[in-house]
Amino acid sequence: MLKAQGSFFVGGEKVEQTYVELGSFGPPGHISVNQMYVRYMVPQGGDSKAAVVMVHGMTLTGKTWETTPDGRMGWDEYFVRKGHPVYVPDQVSRGRSGFNQRVFNNVRAGTTPQSEQPVMRRFSDEVVWPNFRFGPKPGAAYPDEQFPVAAADELSKQSIPDLNSSLPTPNPSFKALSDLATQLKRAVLMGHSQGGSFPLEAALVDSAGIKGMVLVEPGNCPAAYTDQQIAKLATAPILVVFGDHLSDTPTGIAALRSWQGPFDACQAFIARVKAAGGNAQMLYPPDLGIHGNSHMIMQDKNNLQIADLILKWIDRNVK
Amino acid sequence: MLKAQGSFFVGGEKVEQTYVELGSFGPPGHISVNQMYVRYMVPQGGDSKAAVVMVHGMTLTGKTWETTPDGRMGWDEYFVRKGHPVYVPDQVSRGRSGFNQRVFNNVRAGTTPQSEQPVMRRFSDEVVWPNFRFGPKPGAAYPDEQFPVAAADELSKQSIPDLNSSLPTPNPSFKALSDLATQLKRAVLMGHSQGGSFPLEAALVDSAGIKGMVLVEPGNCPAAYTDQQIAKLATAPILVVFGDHLSDTPTGIAALRSWQGPFDACQAFIARVKAAGGNAQMLYPPDLGIHGNSHMIMQDKNNLQIADLILKWIDRNVK
Portion 139-178 of B in contact with A at CB < 8 A? 153-154, 156-162
B252 at A interface, C-beta within 8 A: no
For chain A, what is the largest distance between any 2 Cα atoms, rounded to a whole number of angstroms? 62
Shortest Cα distance, chain A CAs vs residue B87, angstroms: 14
What is the band of B221 on the pLDDT scale with cuts at 50, 70, 90?
very high
State whether A26 and B124 contact (CB < 8 Å).
yes
**A255 band by pLDDT with thresholds 50, 70 and 90:** low
Q: Please judge whether A25 and B123 are an interchain contact, meaning their C-beta atoms are less than 8 angstroms apart.
A: yes
Q: How far is B228 from chain A (nearest CA, A)?
A: 34
Is the per-residue pLDDT at A204 higher than 60? yes
How do residues A274-301 score in pLDDT, each as one tens digit?
999 999 999 999 999 999 999 999 999 9
Query: Which residues sit opposite B105 in a β-bridge?
Result: none
Look at residue A253 in the predicted model and tell me its pLDDT: 56
Q: Taking 90 as the threshold, does the pLDDT of residue B257 lie above it?
A: no
A135-170 burial, b for 16+ CB within 10 Å, e for fewer? bbebeebbeebbbbbeebebbbbbbbbbbbebbeee
Residues B191, B218: contact at Cβ < 8 Å?
A: yes
Q: What is the pLDDT of residue B45?
A: 83
d(Cα B96, Cα A95) in Å, to the nearest integer? 5
Who's near A295: CB < 8 A, 6+ residues apart?
A: A131, A132, A133, A193, A217, A243, A259
Which A residues, 286 through 315, put their C-beta within 8 Å of a C-beta on chain B? none
- What are the pLDDT digits (tens) for A212-223? 999 999 998 999
pLDDT in tens, A87-115: 999 999 999 999 999 999 999 999 999 99
Residue A240 burial by Cβ neighbours in a 10 Å radius (0-12, 13-18, 19+): buried
Burial class, A83, CB count within 10 angstroms (exposed 0-12 / middle 13-18 / buried 19+): middle
Which residues on chain A are in Cβ contact (under 8 Å) with B108?
107, 114-115, 117-119
Q: With beta carbons less than 8 A apart as the criterion, state whether A106 and B168 touch.
A: no
pLDDT in tens, B227-253: 999 999 999 999 999 999 999 877 665
| pLDDT at residue A250 greater than cutoff 80 | no
Indicate whether B256 pLDDT > 70.
no
Answer whether A95 sits within 8 Å of B99, measured CB to CB.
no
Closest residue by Cα to residue B242 from B263, B223, B222, B220: B263
